[in-house]
Structure 1
Amino acid sequence: MSPQHFMEMASFSFNLVGMVVCIGGLTLAHRTRHRVPGYLLAGAGFMIAASPLLYAMFAGPR
């Protein structure tokens, strides 16, 4: 199985996990003490959710 086929199959899972991580990071960022780690976690969640699209953009067929 090629990586492209795997990313197409797993895109829903990546989006779901990424959204949960992003929401958790934004919830953590509401607290003043944990603002920076919360934003970093939210950014990581966004990257997880966007990874299938980013993979298709950069490693897709030319």
Structure 2
Amino acid sequence: MEHTQKLSELAKHIRFNILDMTTRAKSGHPSSSLSAVELMTVLFFDGFLRYDPAHP
């Protein structure tokens, strides 16, 4: 599987989790989260955003 396809599958999984969590909570605003999924997936999982929780 090529790298772009892996990121796409990850974004799909994240979208599912967003909908699942907001449905279970019976609360939330999933539309804003869903609109940012691709952007955040690339930033976090494609090496653009280098965040180390041990050194914020």
TM-score (norm 1): 0.44
Higher share of residues assigned helix? 1
TM-score (norm 2): 0.47
Q: Larger radius of gyration, structure 1 or 2?
A: 1
